Amino acid sequence: MPSPPDPSRRTGRRRPPLDGRRAAAVLLTLGLVGLAGLGAASATAATARACAAGATVIADVPWPQQRYDLRALSQITDGAGVTVAVVDSGVDAAHLQLSKAVRPGKDILGRQGNGRFDCVGHGTAVASIIAAAPVAGVGLRGLAPGASILPIRASERLEINGAVSGEGTVADVAAGIRAAVAARVQVINVSISTPGDDPRLRRAVDAALAADVVVVAAVGNQHERGDPTPYPAAYPGVIGVGAIGQNNQRVPTSQVGSYVSIVAPGESVIAAVPGRGHAVYHGTSFAAPFVAATAALIRSHDRSLSRAEVVHRLLATADPAPGERPSPEYGYGVLNPMRALTEIVPPLDSITQPAPAATTTPPMRPTTAGDAGRGSPMSLAVGLAAVLAFVAAGVAAVAAAVPVGRRRRWRPGRLEAPPGSVDLGLVPVTRDQVTRTSPRSTQRAI
């Protein structure tokens, strides 16, 4: 008998390969009926081979990868030493671009597999955005190709033209998050959402945050259905990710609310398909892994940063977006991995301390005859003495600096960060205009 309805849903859809066929609207969901022909104990090598249908290889460089200049990022770090858990439909470890990145994980649905196969394709697409290895003749490359992927198979829910099928519940997703924490990952990507605040999911997320894990979650694609509050994206401490298109505007289906922390590319995103090849995907499911990959880059580059500091760095370095900051549509702005890696950001405490009350500043008062000799010869003499002392100090500083400069042969020294700030040891970089390409399109500038 089918399990009772569970209104959770995964947050993205896939367009078939670029073969001229019209894309079917696919929305991945959680917790309704079982997928025909795939039992709970079918996580075998034969099943994995049967699920790997494959698709056309896309040689064009996707527009997000052009925007983020992955070659420049790789000069700083490629995410080596960091593991990102993908709590999803599993990940196809046989795909050429993922074979070296995917570790043995956990199969929550099958109870006996390692999550290294994917009959839906959703988790494989997400993982490839994070860690797909560069291959000659292929445009796709993950933002953090040196990172490891821990596949957690927790849901295969599908909604196709209104018909829902597949297995997986909110309890399965919660178990997947707990499994990722037990495996000591540094980042968790959850491209799944449910409109209900389930205590099991909340406890799992709380455990991840307490373990210093960065949790990234898609905010969902239900804007046209009234923006139901998405969990786990809406939990405190989780980075909720919305989707933008190539024009930097919010994708119309991307949800709006206080749970949106940041936005990233989520329209016409090229990602891997189980077996071989690629397809074009849409939705916040595929925006979230760009943020998860950037979190992996940050943690790889500076292992000393805490979860809260990584989140702070991601949000503080986001590019401006329309509206206030933060806004319900765009959160703190548009993800910028290069800025997140290289800029000196304000200390974390600087944004958590409340602003002093306005009454703490003494009010201005008019000058009275009782003021101590303002404008008198004595006050003028005191002021002149202060100016002379300041000039003398400046001359002394220059005199001290000249011998140091000669010893250094006038080479510049390293820029020191302000006290208390997070400094990754690199010169701040600003992002200039870049040119990008979408599949089958001509180049257009941002």
Alpha-carbon distance of 153 to 147, in angstroms, equals: 19
Catalytic residue among 89, 155, 285, 300: 285
Catalytic residue among 88, 107, 198, 227: 88
Report residue 431 as tokens: 């992002």
- How far is residue 214 from each of residues 76, 183, 188, 402, 422, measured CA to CA in Å? 21, 14, 6, 47, 17
**Is 376 annotated in the active site?**
no
| Strand partners of residue 327 | 331
Alpha-carbon distance of 51 to 119, in angstroms, equals: 5
**Is 122 annotated in the active site?**
yes
Alpha-carbon distance of 383 to 443, in angstroms, equals: 63
**Is 285 annotated in the active site?**
yes
Alpha-carbon distance of 243 to 151, in angstroms, equals: 23
| Dihedral sign computed on CA atoms, order 281, 287, 290, 292 | negative
Rounded to 5°, angle at Cα 15 from 86 and 10: 40
Alpha-carbon distance of 326 to 315, in angstroms, equals: 9
Helix (H) or strand (E) holding 346: none
Catalytic residue among 92, 107, 122, 193: 122
Rounded to 5°, angle at Cα 328 from 233 and 253: 75
Residues catalogued as catalytic: 88, 122, 285
